[in-house]
Structure 1
């Protein structure tokens, strides 16, 4: 070991520097409002707190803040009022004072242009409220896709002991004899509707049968992926990632989380001691083994970046080649999150991966990951859902990074949810210059396209006006869908939902709007994809590309938004390979 400070040590030192002038106090006396008279500040704070009916005795207790994110625009968090009461029970049982505080809530399908654009804003809200209020430890209540990453980003930067509690997945429903769960089945039936295999009347009935309980998507989408990775990193209680939202165990998990939050009060077990480079690597291993969402790469990179930890995409490839897919869940397999919970959940996965993990990583319980796994040896596992390493769902990890002259800084493919017959292929580019262009032409009978072509979407990355939406899952052109085409190669600088499937190349970096090579692709160009070689190349000679670049640079660029958060976002957002965080929020020592 050398004497150089680790990234998390630097962040810890920065947090100490920021807090060195603050009084060393706990509970209501922590972080007093500055009136130039500390005695008056505490007197006034107690007076105002008593207006809410608290006794003097209770106001002397340690305070557990609860970052609370219900919203009428967030169906995933519909059950949070009941879950909040369970957390409070746990805090009170251990002698603390639980105080919830609201932050931004990001309901995935209710935000325009896309939820990712507001993830960083939520992280800032979370961080600043943890810092500003008298909180000795904090419970992070989230669930929907961007809320958990935002909370972990904010808590990592705030430097206060924190523990995550997720919403849990929704339960499945039924349509006739078929079991349904959002949102892989949403996409499957919509594709059938576009192909005229399902009628207008049927799709309306299906619409009402896909999401029927509180909770996050019922498959291994982004929400469930991030829940599993958070447990793998040690930031939530063991065995709580997969508990269904409406299960009584979810309430018991809430109470236990409140109890554990009280144990964190006064401890040095802050997020930077838990989210280490080794813990991030464990999370990547788990991501690959569960066939998790491509979005998780962006979120893990952003969380790690707050602590000075870099997540190189070539590292992802090295891990992927040695990590099999073990979890048989949609969209990679056939089961749902409630089945994963009943099959042994994350405990079963971690036991199976034990020899590939860093077992000395600390967890929020105060024990190491190795101690947690050892305590659960011999636990139940259903091998139809969580497979043994000797008989995996896939021999290699679910995700790979691609590099080449079309993606100099990388792109991502979820190979576990793709058609392997398309992995080594050259195709003709059919280019859409924006989401508007895609919507206008994708179903045109005049579109010049065949099943062997590559659909290419430009200007859908983080700096674009669309803010990197989940639009990378380009629809199969209508006239091809009606002939039975189910998949084709699709390439973009956008994202896709973790519930989606197909041979979809995403997060091309640098993006088109930033002048990346994707901006130079024209209709008819040949593109070569090789998953085995991890390459994505535009087969156009360098001289022609230089000529096109001159034309691109000469074109007028989109004017920045005139004001507000949109202007801050455009000015500060980083590329996908850097987690799409803001440049001023990442640890300054990271070398891009």
Structure 2
């Protein structure tokens, strides 16, 4: 076995001497690590990331597993992306974290990698960075937090927050109840306990072979999470010995499997951006049409919020992701490899469903229609998306007049005005919230106007170039491309324009003549840049549009030949 770390430490040359003595200063005696796979454990917890905080403890179990398998663990830290707190958006910092992961792996004496993830963007960021390095890699999730309890009812941080917020704005929930909810909804560590972006991306990672089978849906507080950490540590040493790289696991067929799984679990719309970005790092170029085709005829198998009613605890008890993949095997490419090096067909064939009210079979699906609807038209010629399983079926064919907000602040200032000209058929439109315009925050789930909430309206057609939280729901059209801030047609939609949505035909249009749109675009004035310095400026100047995964143009290879390459170690440190 040829170890990459040997280039730092073995031999009598002066640089090897320098590297070994530097390790001694840290207490790493050469006799303890020479000739062994050095496993870099990239930890992403900090005191402001409640989702990833369990890794402060779990890392010790990973280390134990590495030692047991004959490797040598070193713990390293990267930035993290606590989506609850990062303003205005955590998406730009996904790319920065991916760069941090990539350069940490590339520049240090590491033979294999364990990535400790959970919160929404940490999982794809780590996979993007690892894909660009192509060293043996596994992920370990922190697990989801427990559901809370509010006046005798189970409440899940995420989806229930949006529901209760509507009730509060409508006057159904009073001030004292609202304050009480704040204290009891979110009382433990880990990711959101619903099928939001965190749970979705963990599921995608396991489907891609980058997480140990059966580990993606274990709760944070369950002792099985520690067992999974130790097993991950043991397995990564074997993967170094077997030379199983991300490019061998994350193949084009594996990404197609992930797209099908995304539909079956009612996963987050954010996964479209993330899977596209991860795949491109390997020279695999996904497009929106592939998401559409792969999810076609895949029903919703999982009764979880926001597409259903269940929680992640119930999902785990019902058989977890293993049970879902087992049911999907007839429509998957079963020859793709899992993290154990075996085919997914052999790994998941025996998985069983323990609660059919939460996980259903293909024959008796929870909902017959799921997946991501891809929409195109004169509003979004490069595409927009809609999460079918979490939207209102009766609105999938809809026509209404536009109520337009020029940006997020304009929306906040006007959405609850009593004189807002809006009715339940209106289409709420928000501009300048895309990757260049604002860093593409999760603002796409535009609030229902307060006066409509008081009338009992709980869903309306909404469209923007923003993203939406994976825990959100509604007939919300997202990721409209090209975005407003670069002159996409969404920029020139005006109040009162008729908008027509037809999910079945995959179209979204303003009912305005092409010549009128052209005239409006010619008169359009580009908004001032939101950021003028630092990383946000670099992001805005280099970010690709949503259909390309919002990666930076200089990080995305143009072909497979440029992908997954670590240059040889040269020169002195």
Shorter-chain TM-score tier:
over 0.9
TM superposition score normalised by structure 1: 0.92
Q: Deviations over 1:225-257 (max 9, x none)?
A: 001111111111100010001110001000000
Q: Does structure 1 residue 258 correspond to structure 2 residue 228?
A: no
Matches of 1:565 and 1:444, distance apart in 2: 36
Unaligned residue ranges in structure 1 (runs of 5+)? 1-22
1:523 aligned residue (490, 495, 509): 495
What is the deviation of 1:32?
A: 6.6
Query: What secondary structure does 2:40 align onto?
Result: strand
Q: Does structure 1 residue 349 correspond to structure 2 residue 324?
A: yes
2:416 aligned residue (427, 440, 443): 443
Counterpart in the other structure of 2:24: 50
Matches of 1:584 and 1:371, distance apart in 2: 39
Q: Does structure 1 residue 479 correspond to structure 2 residue 454?
A: no
Matches of 1:414 and 1:562, distance apart in 2: 34
Closer, same or farther: CA 468–556 of 1 in aligned 2, 3 Å: closer
- Correspondence 1:4-153 to 2 at 5 A: 25-27=3-5, 29-31=6-8, 39-60=13-34, 61-153=36-128
Counterpart in the other structure of 1:492: 464
Query: What secondary structure does 1:513 align onto?
Result: helix
- Contact kept? 1:46, 1:59, Cα under 8 Å: no
What is the deviation of 1:171?
A: 0.9
- Correspondence 1:193-212 to 2 at 5 A: 193-212=168-187
Counterpart in the other structure of 1:575: 545
Matches of 1:382 and 1:583, distance apart in 2: 45
Counterpart in the other structure of 1:18: none
Query: What secondary structure does 2:74 align onto?
Result: strand
2:533 aligned residue (552, 557, 563): 563
Q: Deviations over 1:332-387 (max 9, x none)?
A: 1110011111111111111111111011112221111112123x25x343111111
Query: What secondary structure does 1:498 align onto?
Result: coil
Closer, same or farther: CA 559–172 of 1 in aligned 2, 3 Å: closer
2:307 aligned residue (306, 324, 332): 332
Closer, same or farther: CA 90–491 of 1 in aligned 2, 3 Å: same
Counterpart in the other structure of 2:202: 227
What is the deviation of 1:31?
A: 4.6
- Contact kept? 1:30, 1:135, Cα under 8 Å: no
Q: Deviations over 1:510-558 (max 9, x none)?
A: 1111111100100000000001111101100011111101111xx2542
Paired residues in the alignment total: 560
Closer, same or farther: CA 304–26 of 1 in aligned 2, 3 Å: closer
Counterpart in the other structure of 2:440: 468
- Contact kept? 2:212, 2:232, Cα under 8 Å: yes
What is the deviation of 1:396?
A: 2.2
Counterpart in the other structure of 2:404: 431
Matches of 1:470 and 1:279, distance apart in 2: 28
What is the deviation of 1:273?
A: 1.0
Q: Does structure 1 residue 403 correspond to structure 2 residue 376?
A: yes
Counterpart in the other structure of 1:501: 473
- Contact kept? 2:95, 2:125, Cα under 8 Å: yes
- Contact kept? 1:220, 1:291, Cα under 8 Å: yes
Closer, same or farther: CA 560–187 of 1 in aligned 2, 3 Å: closer
- Contact kept? 1:493, 1:506, Cα under 8 Å: yes
Query: What secondary structure does 2:322 align onto?
Result: helix
Q: Please, what is the CA RMSD of the aligned residues?
A: 1.7
- Contact kept? 1:512, 1:518, Cα under 8 Å: yes
Matches of 2:216 and 2:470, distance apart in 1: 16
What is the deviation of 1:403?
A: 1.1
Query: What secondary structure does 2:416 align onto?
Result: coil
Query: What secondary structure does 2:110 align onto?
Result: coil
Closer, same or farther: CA 38–586 of 1 in aligned 2, 3 Å: farther
TM superposition score normalised by structure 2: 0.95
